[in-house]
Every structure is written in structure tokens, then in C-alpha cells.
Structure 1
Amino acid sequence: MGAELNRLARRGWRVLHSIPLANDVDVDHLLIGPGGVFSINTKHHHNKAVWVGDDAVKVDHGKPAPYARKSRAEAKRVVRVLEHYCGFPVQVEPVLVFVGVTDLKVVATQLSVRVYQGRQVAALAPLSGVLTAEQVEQVYSVARHRQAWSKA
């Protein structure tokens, strides 16, 4: 997933991987670019079928997992940190990326989390009009400092 996201650098995007937060959790990937900021939560379910509804995710018809809720909460934590240090509003969109799945069915009608399968994340590359080049660099500069995340 990291290599796939790194390819977006040619389009003006910056990527950070495995940002540690408080309570032994982390942001898998943070994508910052002209189209905004995306908190990417990667889920590996090798050779499994995944179903995504409005607020539930089921792997091979199993028990619902709170992936969407956790992705939204993670994005809110990222917003708090970035806005605190950047001094301007920073919208962060949560993204769920499923890797290694055999099938991904998204039936959500009101899902506030973007959902992709591995290589589909490249769909974010052409997005623009949210952050200026200067804002991208400022957000990236803040996001690179591990100390900013220590209490998030």
C-alpha cells in the first residue's frame, strides 16, 4: 500500500506512513495534497470477500466490524492535531483501503468514509482545489513531526 501511495508524489501529493498516536494506535498512512488530507486505514483480508454498508463492514459474512466508525474517529484526531499546529482549518477525509480481498462490495448510501481496494486509491491523484501548494507543504511539515502526535 505504501508503494502505491508513494506513486502519487508525481501529482503533488505527500505521504507519511505509520504515524504513532497515543494509546498504541497509529495512522496507517496520511496523504496530503492538492485534493486535501486523507487519513488512510488499511485492512488486509487475504482471499476474503468484504461487504461495506453504511456503518458496518463484514468479512466473509462474519460479525460486523467497526472499521468505518474507527476511520472517522481517526480522521477527527488528525484534524485536531493539524489544525492546532497549522493555524487554519484542515479537513481530513477518512479512507478505508482493503488489500488482498477477492471481492469488495460497497452498498453504503450515506457512508462518510471513502472505500477502495488496493490500487483504486490512485483515484485520489487527480483531486485538487482544496489546498494550495503552500498549504500542502505546511500541513506536511507539521505532520512529519512525531511530537505533534504524541498526545493525539
Structure 2
Amino acid sequence: MRRIWSRLLGRTSEWESWHKGLAGERRVGRELERLHPFGWRVLHGIPTPTGGDIDHLLIGPGGVFVVNAKYHDGKSVWLGDHAAKVNHGRPQPYANISRSEARRVREVLERYCEFPVHVEPVLVFVGVTDLTKAPTAHEVRAYKERDIASLAPLSGKLCPEQVEAVYTVARHKRVWLNA
């Protein structure tokens, strides 16, 4: 009933927002799976103790990337050092949240791996018409969904044995739930 009422008033319901977010995560997931032939491993929807989840974890020769999907169909996005603006609207803390999540993932993985694990935050914007990144925004990578393939040739951070070691640790649910 709430969905119908929201639709009549021209508002987005919580369910519609969640559904769009899930659709965006699935689209990004499909793009990430295309990196497998290049030595990359992907995990999707890793649960966290707070009740949320890590959208995607990409592990490969170029390191470990925490990938957050943001669905903003038909909109333009500007990404700064700490926040993003969708269609020049209110700042959203996407960059700060992404950095924080990457730090937490690094702490968890290094607890179980016998080597340093470099983790980078990545924001992937799904369905956007334009993505502009501030020249000073260096800490968070940002891509349109189809541009995520540009990660494929990255190398030099993890050898194949380390990729498998990190992947083995990251696959265990208890690692994340006890984090």
C-alpha cells in the first residue's frame, strides 16, 4: 500500500530505492565477473556485523578493491574529495564511506594474511549520463559501470599465490562477521 501511495504522490518508496540499488549492484557484478580471465577474483554481497554488506570485493594482480555500486539512472554525478553530488543536489558522503570501508577491509584481511594487503576504494556509478571527478580527488577511484574493465590490466600488487590467499580468507563469512 505504501508503494502505491508513494507512486501516486510521485515519491520514491524505500522498496523502489532498494530494488534500484540491487539492480545496480547486479550490473556492476556482471562487469566485474568479466575480469576473471585476467586473474581477478570477485566476491559479492559480503555481510558485515552492522547488518550491511560490502557490495563487491575485487581481488587480483592489481590489489584488492572494495567496490560500491551507486545507481543513479539518467543523472550526472560530480565526485569530490569527501562527497558526491547527484544532479547538483545535496552532498552524499559516498567517498568518505568508501574510504572507511576500504580501511576496515584492509584491517580484516591483514589479520589473516601473512603479508600487507593494499585495499583501494572504488565507486561505480550505474546508469549515469556524466561522471566528473574533482582534480584533487585521488583516494577513491570512480567509474561508470562499463569503465570498470579498465582495472583488468592493473598488476604489480599481488602475485597469483597472494591473490588466492586473500581470496581464500575473504570467502569465509566468519572472517567478516567477527570483524
The TM-score, its normalising length taken from structure 1, stands at: 0.97
SS in 2 for 1:32: strand
Deviates more, 1:141-150 or 1:22-31: 22-31
Structure in which a larger fraction of residues adopt helix: 2
The percent of aligned pairs where both chains have the same amino acid is 62
1:148 equivalent to 2:143? Answer no
Once the two structures are superposed, the pairs formed by residues 1-150 of structure 1 within 5 Å of their partners are 1-150=28-177
Asked if 1 retains the 8 angstrom alpha-carbon contact of 2:45 and 2:53, the reply is: yes
Higher-RCO chain (CA-CA 8 Å, sequence separation at least 6): 1
Task: Name the Cα RMSD after superposition.
Answer: 0.9
Greater per-residue strand proportion: 1
Deviation at 1:136, TM superposition (A): 0.3
Q: Which whole-Å CA distance do the structure 2 matches of 1:13 and 1:125 have between them?
A: 8
| Cα deviation, residue 116, structure 1 | 0.5
Q: Shift of the alpha carbon at 1:151?
A: 2.8
Q: Letter of the aligned partner of 1:33 in structure 2?
A: G
Query: Residues 20-63 of structure 1, C-alpha deviation per residue, up to 9 Å, x if partnerless?
Result: 11111111000000010000011001111111122220001110
Q: What 5-or-longer segments of structure 1 have no aligned partner?
A: none
Classify the secondary structure of the residue corresponding to 2:35.
Answer: helix
Distance of 1:18 and 1:140 partners within structure 2: 14
The number of residue pairs the alignment matches comes to 152
Deviation at 1:108, TM superposition (A): 3.5
2: CA distance between counterparts of 1:138 and 1:3? 23
Q: List alignment gaps of at least 5 residues for structure 2.
A: 1-27
Q: Deviations over 1:65-89 (max 9, x none)?
A: 0000000000011011100011211
Question: Which protein has the larger Cα radius of gyration, Structure 1 or Structure 2?
Answer: 2
